[in-house]
Amino acid sequence: MSDTSVIGLPSSDGPSGTGDAVPLEPLELPPLSDSVAYVRELGKPTVAEVLREARQAGRVALQPRCGVGSHAQMATLLRDLERHAAPDILTLTIDSHTRLKRFGNARAALLRNPADLNGYPLVTHGWQRGRELNEAVSAPLEIRHGSPDARLLFQTAVASGITSFEGGGISYNLPYSKAVPLSESLAAWRDVDALCGDLVGRDLVIDRELFGTLTAVLIPPSISLAISVLEAVAAANEGVRCISIAYPQGGHVEQDVAALRAIPALAARYLPAEVEVHPVLHEFMGVFPRARSSAEDLILYGALVARLGGATKLITKTYQEAYGIPDTRANIDGLLLASRANSPLLSCLSINEDRAAEELEWILQEVAEIVEPVLEAPDLYAAIISAFADGRLDIPFSASRYASSEVIPRRAPDGAIRYLSTGGLPLSDDSRQRNQRSLGIHADGTDIGDMVRGLTDDINYFLRIFRETPGVPS
């Protein structure tokens, strides 16, 4: 990797009243040696260090989602979240134009009205402003985005002193993009991981968080974890030494706890011992209840699952999820509520450990059946592309033409997420039959109308628990 790359941005006065300067021309990024020195001079821990401390202390680190277009408002948002809720890690969620490398569109939106952007356009604002955000708070920052090709964004993040970067060549392509070939996204993310390996050689460890959440709609645990294992092996091969594997809360406590507990077991099985691996839980990303009390029940429930499952980190939600992008107050309240999971008074929490152990055994078996044929191939990247082409790897409800989307998940009567149809996944007869037995009455349905109604009910799982009617205000 070259020690320098391009783009960062000087600026001029912005639209009246925004408090922002508007980027003008590209500026060369600083050498990597300068960026590494800047991180050391910041006087704050890296994300990898925060995660290690949390794991050693046996507590769940907390992180909100947040991102706005305006630089001034982004800085204010980060300061407010830190002042009132003290999260362990703070987020820069990136806008859609930047995710798709439409940097001219991002700049035009900043000139017109930063509020038109659904996140912070870091590449357009530039690495100097990224450093300003870093210096505005004491918590380290992570970039969350959704880009199939994040190379320039990653370089700008490194120059900004940001020490955690989410995504991967599968998980940030197939759930979001229709026509980006896997060969392109895997190659782009290979470059990101190789630069992380270069930085390890310079004594700077970047946490690489893998987006096992995928489409966030009825994701069977073994699909989530299988994709993350493949991305983790690819990252480790390029020299990445800190990997966070994120799992989306499904809603069945023993299954979710087992999935989180599976992460260190999978790391021990498939990754080098020198790679630090952290389980991360995304609080429920499906349809949220509208009543504040119900939403807060679900937030606390997710936090307790994170604690019981041994998650190192929790990505929090708010009581405004059903209504759109949450405001600062809701984000603060969500963090404070989730922080109750770390109370010493909750050390007595318990679940059905026999059931969780059974779920863990099933998950580990299914993941092995999915990933091991791919990992045995001499070229991992070619094997991933080939497996998706013939359906041996797949993602439910994918937006991409490069995924078959033949896997059909359903909820079992107890709320666990199972496979109704495994498509071309190479699961054993034992695994398929176990899923069918668990589904029980769902397994016999063949009518398309019944299938759609059943899937809709499964997606609205928590609305049904809280007796809310979809689309009707509470």
User: Has residue 5 got a pLDDT over 50?
Assistant: no
Say how far residue 376 (Cα) sits from the centre of its chain.
27
Residue 185: pLDDT band by 50, 70, 90 thresholds?
very high
Calculate what percentage of the chain has a pLDDT beyond 70: 92
Token pair of 269, please? 């099985």
pLDDT: is 24 or 15 the higher one? 24
What does pLDDT average to over the chain?
92
**Hey, which residues does 11 pair with through a beta bridge?**
23
Residue 348: pLDDT band by 50, 70, 90 thresholds?
confident
**Hey, which residues does 244 pair with through a beta bridge?**
209, 278
Give the mean model confidence (pLDDT) for residues 91-109. Answer: 96
How confident is the model at residue 448, as a pLDDT?
Answer: 65
User: Has residue 59 got a pLDDT over 80?
Assistant: yes
Give the mean model confidence (pLDDT) for residues 308-336. Answer: 96
132-168 residue pLDDT tens:
999 999 999 999 999 999 999 999 999 999 999 999 9
Asked about 166 being catalytic, the answer comes back as yes
How confident is the model at residue 20, as a pLDDT?
Answer: 65
Select which of 55, 99, 107, 208 is catalytic: 99
What is the C-alpha separation between 49 and 351, in angstroms, rounded? 30
How confident is the model at residue 13, as a pLDDT?
Answer: 39
How confident is the model at residue 431, as a pLDDT?
Answer: 97
What is the C-alpha separation between 257 and 277, in angstroms, rounded? 17
What is the C-alpha separation between 191 and 195, in angstroms, rounded? 6
Select which of 55, 65, 142, 166 is catalytic: 166
Strands 242-248 and 207-210: parallel
User: Has residue 11 got a pLDDT over 90?
Assistant: no
Strands 276-282 and 313-315: parallel
41 residue type, one letter: E
Domains and CATH numbers, the chain: 11-340 (3.20.20.240), 371-465 (no CATH)
352-398 residue pLDDT tens:
999 999 999 999 999 999 999 999 999 999 999 999 999 999 999 99
What is the C-alpha separation between 223 and 209, in angstroms, rounded? 17
How confident is the model at residue 236, as a pLDDT?
Answer: 98
Residue 17: pLDDT band by 50, 70, 90 thresholds?
very low
Q: Which of 66-70, 251-255, 448-452 has the lowest mean pLDDT?
A: 448-452
Backbone torsions φ then ψ of 105, nearest 5 degrees: -65, -40
Asked about 102 being catalytic, the answer comes back as no
Length of the chain: 474
